[in-house]
C-alpha cells in the first residue's frame, strides 16, 4: 500500500449541529430540536451533574441489537467543553409529534390508532426486556429494565409507531453481573409500582421487569382514556392518578392511594362495551395487579394486541 502523503486530505464526516428550540425538559437535561447539516435531529443537553445519566443512556444505546424500530434511534454522544462549563450531549432521531403524553393532551385516538400505538410500544418494551443469547458478543443482547417507563418517555413517529426513549435510569442484566448495588426507589412517583412505594422489592431481574409492566399498564390506560371509538364521552387528558393525587403528588400521596387504598385509575363502563377495548381493559388490570407475579410480560402484551389488530388495516 502507498503511504499517505501528509497533504492527503482526510475525509471525515463532521457534524455541524445547530440547536433550534427546546422541545422538552426531562428529569435529566433538556431536549432540543436541532439540525445536523440538512437533517433534523434531537439533542439532549445534560450538565456535569447529569453525567451519570448521559453515561448510562449511551451505554444502553450502544448495546448490540438495540437498533430497533421501536427504540429511539441513537446517533452519537458528545462532550462539549468551553472555558466555563462542560455539557454532555446525546444526539438521536427527531420525532416531530413528540411524546405520547404530548400527543394525548391534544388529540383523541381511534381504536385503530390506539391498537397500533399499543402494539408498537409493547414491541419496543418486549425487545428491551428480552435477553437474546449468543456466543458471539456482537449478537448477544442482555435484558434491560427501563425503570422510568411513562407516556412522556414514549415518542411517536410520523406514522404513529411508538419508540421508547430515555434510558438514563435503565439497568442492564448480564448473567455474570449482579445488580445488587443499585437502589430500588427510582423513577417517577405516579408510575411507581406498589412494591417500590413499599420499599419491598428484591433485586432480581424479573422484579425490575415487572415494575416496568405496572407502568406500562398505566400508559395503556392513558391511551384508552383518550379513545373515541366507544359509545361514551371522552374526557380531557389526565395523567394516571391525577384525579386522585393531583399534578405534583408527594411520595406519601401516591403511597396512600396505590398501596394503602389499592386504588387504580377508573376504567369506564363504555370502554368495556367495545369488544377490542374490553380485552385491553383486562390486560391493563393484569398489568397493574398488586401482586407483581400476576403481571403479564411485555412479550405477552405484544402478542395479545397484535392478535387483536391482525384484522385491522392501519
Cβ density class 191-226: b for 16+ within 10 Å, e for less: bbbbbbbeeebeeebebbbbbbbbbbbbbbbbbbbb
What is the residue-wise DSSP string for 259-305?
Answer: IIS---PPPPHHHHTSHHHHHHHHHHHHHT-SSGGGSPPHHHHHHHH
Distance CA(92)–CA(273), nearest Å, equals 41
Query: What cell was used for 266?
Result: 377508573
42 contributes a contact to ligand ADE by CB under 6 A? yes
**Which of 148, 166, 212, 289 is the catalytic position?**
148
Return the range that interacts with ligand ADE (CB under 6 A); candidates 86-94, 107-115, 118-126, 137-145.
86-94
Site for ligand ADE (CB under 6 A): which residue of 54, 61, 88, 94?
A: 94
Closer CB to ligand ADE, 24 or 114, in the complex: 24
154 contributes a contact to ligand ADE by CB under 6 A? no
24 contributes a contact to ligand ADE by CB under 6 A? yes
Site for ligand ADE (CB under 6 A): which residue of 50, 60, 87, 98?
A: 98
Supply the minimum distance, in Å, between the C-beta of residue 92 and ligand ADE: 5
Site for ligand ADE (CB under 6 A): which residue of 165, 213, 254, 309?
A: 165
Site for ligand ADE (CB under 6 A): which residue of 155, 169, 245, 277?
A: 155
92 contributes a contact to ligand ADE by CB under 6 A? yes
Supply the minimum distance, in Å, between the C-beta of residue 305 and ligand ADE: 24
Residues in region 3-22 near ligand ADE by CB under 6 A: none
Site string for ligand ADE, 106-145 (x = CB under 6 A): ----------------------------------------
Q: Which residues contact 290 (CB under 8 A, 6 or more apart)?
A: 194, 262
Does residue 148 carry a catalytic annotation?
yes
Distance CA(150)–CA(102), nearest Å, equals 12
How many residues touch ligand ADE (CB under 6 A)?
13
Q: Which of 55, 162, 155 is nearest to 113 (CA)?
A: 162
Distance CA(213)–CA(218), nearest Å, equals 9
Q: How far is CA 30 from CA 19, 146, 154, in A?
A: 11, 19, 16
Return the range that interacts with ligand ADE (CB under 6 A); candidates 79-87, 92-100, 182-190, 284-292.
92-100
Residues known to be catalytic: 148
Amino acid at each position: 500500500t502507498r503511504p499517505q502523503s501528509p497533504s492527503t486530505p482526510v475525509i471525515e464526516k463532521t457534524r455541524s449541529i445547530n440547536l433550534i428550540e427546546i422541545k422538552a425538559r426531562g428529569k435529566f437535561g433538556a431536549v432540543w430540536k436541532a439540525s445536523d447539516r440538512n437533517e433534523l435531529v434531537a439533542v439532549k443537553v445534560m450538565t456535569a451533574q447529569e453525567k451519570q445519566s448521559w453515561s448510562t443512556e449511551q451505554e444502553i444505546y450502544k448495546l448490540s441489537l438495540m437498533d430497533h424500530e421501536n427504540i429511539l434511534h441513537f446517533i452519537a454522544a458528545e462532550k462539549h467543553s468551553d472555558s466555563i462549563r462542560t455539557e454532555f450531549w446525546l444526539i438521536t432521531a427527531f420525532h416531530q409529534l413528540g411524546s405520547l403524553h404530548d400527543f394525548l393532551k391534544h388529540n383523541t385516538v381511534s381504536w385503530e390508532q390506539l391498537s397500533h400505538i399499543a402494539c408498537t410500544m409493547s414491541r419496543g418494551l418486549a425487545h428491551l426486556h428480552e435477553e437474546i443469547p449468543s456466543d458471539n458478543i456482537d449478537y448477544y443482547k442482555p435484558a434491560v429494565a427501563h425503570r422510568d417507563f411513562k407516556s412522556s418517555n414514549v415518542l411517536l413517529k410520523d406514522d404513529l409507531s411508538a419508540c421508547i426513549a430515555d434510558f438514563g435510569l435503565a439497568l442492564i442484566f448480564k448473567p455474570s453481573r449482579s445488580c445488587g448495588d443499585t437502589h430500588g426507589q427510582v423513577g417517577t412517583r405516579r408510575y411507581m409500582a406498589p412494591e417500590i412505594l413499599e420499599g419491598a422489592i428484591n433485586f432480581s431481574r424479573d422484579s425490575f421487569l415487572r415494575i416496568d409492566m405496572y407502568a406500562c399498564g398505566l400508559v395503556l390506560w392513558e391511551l384508552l382514556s383518550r379513545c373515541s371509538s366507544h359509545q361514551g364521552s371522552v374526557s380531557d387528558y389526565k395523567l394516571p392518578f391525577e384525579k386522585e393525587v393531583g399534578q405534583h403528588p408527594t411520595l406519601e400521596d401516591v403511597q396512600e392511594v396505590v398501596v394503602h387504598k389499592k386504588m387504580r385509575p377508573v376504567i369506564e363502563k363504555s370502554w368495556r362495551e367495545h369488544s377490542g377495548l374490553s380485552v385491553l381493559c383486562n390486560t391493563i388490570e393484569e398489568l397493574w395487579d398488586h401482586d407483581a407475579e400476576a403481571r403479564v410480560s411485555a412479550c405477552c402484551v405484544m402478542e395479545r394486541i397484535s392478535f387483536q389488530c391482525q384484522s385491522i388495516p392501519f
